Structure 1
Amino acid sequence: MSMVGVAALTGVLVAVPPAAADTAGTADTAGTVSPELQRFYDQEPAWKPCTGEGLDDLECARITVPMDYANPRGERIRIAVSRHRATDEDGRRGILLANPGGPGGSGLGMAAFLRGQKIGEVYDLIGFDPRGIGESTRIQCSVPDLDDLELPTRPTAGQLHNFTEAARRTEAGCDRTGGSLRPHITTANTARDMDVIRGVLGEDKANYLGYSYGTYLGAVYGSLFPEKLDRSVLDSSIHPDRIWRDTWLAMSRAHTENVERFTRWAAENDDKLGLGDTSEAVFRSMEDVAQRLHDDPIDDFDRSSFDMAVALLNRDQGEWDVLAAFIGGLRDGDDAQVREAADAGALRLAASRDRFADDSAFSPSTFATVRCEADWPTGLGAYYADMREYAAEHPYGMGAMLSAPDPCTFRSYTPAEKPVELKRDGYPTGVVVQSHYDTQTAYEGGPAMAQRLRDSLIIVEDDSNHGYYGIPGYDCVTEQIDDYLIDGILPGSATTCPGAPFPDLDAPDTADEENLTEKVQEQIDEEEEHPVPLPAPLPVS
């Protein structure tokens, strides 16, 4: 799942001469697809060159699926699909469907993201925008006006109700404009759409790679269509028993655990960083800055901004020098350095929010809807108790925000079905990848998913990132996944890979108070170059 975003990857499909004839509609669906659904599997897509940034050399099509699979003769919607054909035609072993996460992330650009990997030689790489998103039939919730509500990371007792009011307004906006589509925006229905894509492409089986929320989607697909799934990789996994509120609470705890790691590292390097010679002293330095910004914000950069900026800068331990310079600049800098640090923090926050505001890359309406597929507690007292605890014990990250009442607390409809019970019964052993200190999908999710599905587990040791296959610096993971996806060679049942190294504080380009904004911009540029996986977005106060 996960809170920085994916760069804009999708584009508008245009009418150009079609590509060569395909094998669409030739998959064997006898006895596995109802007669009412067969016509969807028998479609022949009209492939055309994709348009849009980052989609060069891909071909795109749109297929039709039922809005409600329980009523396939009813309303229909469209799903946008992209493809990059295997470059080794003789070695081709089928299709690989991919999802970047979310929920709410556009996946049309996944074929472009993966085409430089070895798997692009033997697989047709298939990206798609899940229902409700991007170039597929979209759901659009009306956006409520929350400007009159203060929603800080560390609210006072009198501010707790503001979060309830924000959740109520958000749900009312979705109810107002979500239409009849909204109850059918679920993980299970997206998995069913995936199987139609498989059938339309003429494949008896699909292979799968999913990041973050996409791990849950892959597990649901395998549970619903075990005879149609071959090899599968679940990278940075959702916990199978935390759908959905408990995922958010675990995220807060994971942020705190990683901040504690940072304070220990900073204390070990106090001679260079000067933030404190014990973990407790570094934490006090952070709290001093937080209190100062609460008492005297720098323009709009206040304590909540600081708490969230710490979370964003803390994710990549290879760049903890940037976080240290950010804290040090705000605590000890002269007026210019304090301003530089605040500007750098505001830049980091704005980049995250801007990416999630790009509705071609991310659908907040789908994000707000998929989570309603599971029941949420309705009693406000439990939420308020959690908010008080999390604001005090887990302030860095989102503080009280992730434990607050959710729009789904006030869900205006009843889903047609419960979330799918996850199991692996009938498809080959897959691979789960998880790091020790992932702040988006907490570590326990990986071993729990691997145990549930009896999959092999790759553990990225002492690392705090999110998403590993195909990401520079994590060759150990990429090589083992290539062995599995290409040659069918499983890693050990519980294999380890090294995490990212910590910053070299003696390097000449180490971040300091003078170059902080430049260093933050470099981080942002790097994320745009390697845009997946898609974690959960930051709440916007």
Structure 2
Amino acid sequence: MSHAAVSCPAEPGSTGRRGLRALAAAAALTLTGLGLTSAPAVAETPAGADGPARFHHQRLDWHGCRTGPDDKAGETLDAAGAQCAEVVVPLDYRRPGGRTIKVAISRIKATDPAKRRGVLLTNPGGPGASGLDLVVALAQGSPALRSHYDLIGMDPRFVGRSTPIHCGWKTGTFLRSAGPNRRTFDESAALMKELAAGCARGNRDVLPYASTRNTARDMDVIRAALGEQKLSYLGYSYGTYLGAVYTQMFGANAGRIVLDSAVDPDVYGPRLLSRNAPAITAALKHWAAWAAEHDKEHGLGDTTAEVLATVNRVNQAAARRPLRIGEYRVDSHHVPYLLFGSLYNDSAEAYADFATQVRTLADAARGTVVTAPPSLKATLDSLFTGAGALEAQAPIICADRAASRDPETYFRDIQAHRADEPLFGPLIRNITPCAFWPTAPVEPTTTIRNDVPVLIAGNDGDPASHYLGQQVMHRALTGSRMVTLRGAYRHAAYLGAGNSCVNATVERYLVDGVLPDGDVTCDRDGAPAG
């Protein structure tokens, strides 16, 4: 999920920080929305439409991307020389003669037509994150990709400009900790029920069609509408699941596929993060060791154990009474989420910012009047007001896999793991809006098992897409190879980690078509590991 959770939390959701602008963001759980204006909603297919293939031959009307004076994302795209267009797709592929929706795409053309080898479609994760301006980050970050590919961004169906779903949430993500007891669990269950009801209002007729399988079908329509025989693809976080589903459904049309920070395809859905506690805890300890080395600057403790004790005191204080952070009241539902969402990037700059946030929380826990630093303020604004909400995240996840509708299932699971997962277990095992969703998935969850050639890139300390889950994806895609950045406690490897070994391995495949003979391991200094 990202900081969001699922994306990564939105994709904590998933909640990552933007670096390279979209790449570190591709890693974030919360890849927040870009504030793009919406495309026209549902239209009717002209009479006489004969099936899905008719959508393959549509003519695309390319135009500027900026929609108005406040459209910063469109302004960025236009400044980078991008164009935008809308692709018409069926709402329900089982009924291609029925209602249609529009999917927005962006394009930065290859700078060297003589070397052009096709299109590279991209997805930053989420689910529910806008992907239109990811092409700008890729074009800036990789001259090789820019010269060899038309870079294609996409707002997946019901996201951003693509016939968006609006749930009216007053929170940026549904990811919450269940807190310390039955009362706090019941509070979170009530919130999830309220969030599900918000998505049901005005959207019930489209919710069944928000699935990843339908987005994969949209991708193949985009491929055909662009006049391409093959679709190459680069997906981060949730985007790896989308890419894997595409290979399962349209393997014959798959070009060069790179999946970065792969999710576990056997768990993906409302319970995607349920196995992440060990990875999140390891990432927290890695940061705590750094903070202990910088105790003079941040005052959180001069040993790893003391820094972790400071974190635990904050969580315990928030369980007793909410912490006052500016205009907000932060309680035990929020603290584990705030910690998780700050662990997507292990750079010294990101770690220093996280330490500043924890210092603020620790001061508030002692009753000191505090002002939130900018990064914490932005996260709290999203949590408490809905700013930048990934409103399509829950609709996508809930359309992909059914969830238990019995709250006791979740409470028992949390209680069973309180001893071994005291801080993050109540967060990652908590109930979600899918337990109260008004519609059921209309198709079975996709089983990923194929031999399409794929390159998987990842970090072995990734807290959001844990390494064991990445390896599950690797085994499921029997034609895949894997490049691993060793000792990296972050989300997103290619370009986002700035590692020359990883970058070279990915670009050798995307540009030259050379998959490694076997799996590759890279060290943090950019050298292949022995």
Partner in structure 2 of residue 282 of structure 1:
307
- 1:451 is aligned, of 475, 489, 503, to 475
- Say if 1:311 and 1:396, in contact at 8 Å, map to a contact too: no
Q: 1:78 to 1:354 in 2, by over 3 A?
A: farther
Partner in structure 1 of residue 26 of structure 2:
none
Stretch moving more, 454-463 or 372-381: 372-381
1:363 aligns to 2:378 (yes or no): no
**Paired residue type of 2:427:** M
Partner in structure 2 of residue 29 of structure 1:
none
1:461 aligns to 2:486 (yes or no): yes
Partner in structure 2 of residue 313 of structure 1:
342
Q: 1:422 to 1:35 in 2, by over 3 A?
A: farther
- 1:193 is aligned, of 218, 235, 242, to 218
Partner in structure 2 of residue 409 of structure 1:
435
User: For residues 511-533 of structure 1, what are the alpha-carbon distances to aligned partners after superposition, in whole Å with 9 as ceiling and x for unaligned?
Assistant: xxxxxxxxxxxxxxxxxxxxxxx
Look up the SS of the partner of 1:103 in the other structure: coil
**Paired residue type of 2:104:** A
**Paired residue type of 2:259:** L
Look up the SS of the partner of 2:76 in the other structure: coil
Shift of 1:203: 0.6
- 1:423 is aligned, of 445, 449, 454, to 449
1:130 aligns to 2:156 (yes or no): yes
Shift of 1:371: 3.2
Q: Distance in 2 between matches of 1:99 and 1:182?
A: 21
Where does structure 2 lack aligned partners over 5 or more consecutive residues? 2-7, 16-29, 40-48, 67-73
1:378 aligns to 2:405 (yes or no): yes
User: For residues 279-327 of structure 1, what are the alpha-carbon distances to aligned partners after superposition, in whole Å with 9 as ceiling and x for unaligned?
Assistant: 4443223223433455563344545354333333333332334444554
- Say if 2:170 and 2:386, in contact at 8 Å, map to a contact too: no
Partner in structure 1 of residue 76 of structure 2:
54
Q: 1:313 to 1:107 in 2, by over 3 A?
A: closer
Q: Distance in 2 between matches of 1:410 and 1:194?
A: 30
Shift of 1:213: 0.3
Partner in structure 1 of residue 414 of structure 2:
387
- The correspondence of residues 173-322 of structure 1 with structure 2, limited to 5 A, is 173-266=198-291, 275-276=300-301, 279-295=304-320, 297-299=323-325, 300=328, 302-304=330-332, 305-319=334-348, 320-322=351-353
Shift of 1:411: 2.7
1:45 aligns to 2:68 (yes or no): no
1:434 aligns to 2:449 (yes or no): no
Look up the SS of the partner of 2:233 in the other structure: strand
1:139 aligns to 2:199 (yes or no): no
Please, what TM-score do these two structures have when normalized by structure 1? 0.78
Look up the SS of the partner of 2:213 in the other structure: helix
- Say if 1:248 and 1:403, in contact at 8 Å, map to a contact too: yes
Shift of 1:260: 2.8
Shift of 1:402: 3.0
Shift of 1:50: 1.6
- 1:78 is aligned, of 86, 102, 108, to 102
- Say if 1:307 and 1:395, in contact at 8 Å, map to a contact too: no
Look up the SS of the partner of 1:38 in the other structure: helix
Q: Distance in 1 between matches of 2:417 and 2:178?
A: 9
Partner in structure 1 of residue 125 of structure 2:
101
Q: What is the identity percentage for the equivalent residue pairs of Structure 1 and Structure 2? A: 31
**Paired residue type of 1:42:** H
- The correspondence of residues 5-16 of structure 1 with structure 2, limited to 5 A, is 5-6=30-31, 9=34, 11=36
Q: Distance in 2 between matches of 1:435 and 1:355?
A: 33
Q: Distance in 2 between matches of 1:12 and 1:292?
A: 41
User: For residues 152-203 of structure 1, what are the alpha-carbon distances to aligned partners after superposition, in whole Å with 9 as ceiling and x for unaligned?
Assistant: 6523222222222222222222223213211011000000000000001111
**Paired residue type of 1:39:** R
Please, what TM-score do these two structures have when normalized by structure 2? 0.80
- Say if 2:169 and 2:386, in contact at 8 Å, map to a contact too: no
Structure with the bigger RCO (C-alpha within 8 Å, sep 6+) is 1
Q: 1:58 to 1:9 in 2, by over 3 A?
A: farther
- Say if 1:326 and 1:341, in contact at 8 Å, map to a contact too: no
Q: 1:348 to 1:131 in 2, by over 3 A?
A: closer
1:350 aligns to 2:367 (yes or no): no
Shift of 1:90: 0.6
Q: Distance in 1 between matches of 2:254 and 2:377?
A: 42
Look up the SS of the partner of 2:115 in the other structure: coil
How many residue pairs match? The answer is: 472
- Say if 1:356 and 1:364, in contact at 8 Å, map to a contact too: no
Q: 1:113 to 1:62 in 2, by over 3 A?
A: same
User: For residues 487-538 of structure 1, what are the alpha-carbon distances to aligned partners after superposition, in whole Å with 9 as ceiling and x for unaligned?
Assistant: 012235221123489xxxxxxxxxxxxxxxxxxxxxxxxxxxxxxxxxxxxx
Q: Distance in 2 between matches of 1:203 and 1:109?
A: 22
Look up the SS of the partner of 1:180 in the other structure: coil
Q: Distance in 2 between matches of 1:119 and 1:235?
A: 16
Shift of 1:418: 0.6
Q: CA RMSD in A?
A: 3.3
Q: Distance in 2 between matches of 1:401 and 1:61?
A: 39
Q: 1:217 to 1:196 in 2, by over 3 A?
A: same
Stretch moving more, 454-463 or 375-384: 375-384
Shift of 1:256: 1.8
- Say if 1:97 and 1:127, in contact at 8 Å, map to a contact too: yes
Shift of 1:224: 0.4
Q: Distance in 2 between matches of 1:144 and 1:276?
A: 36
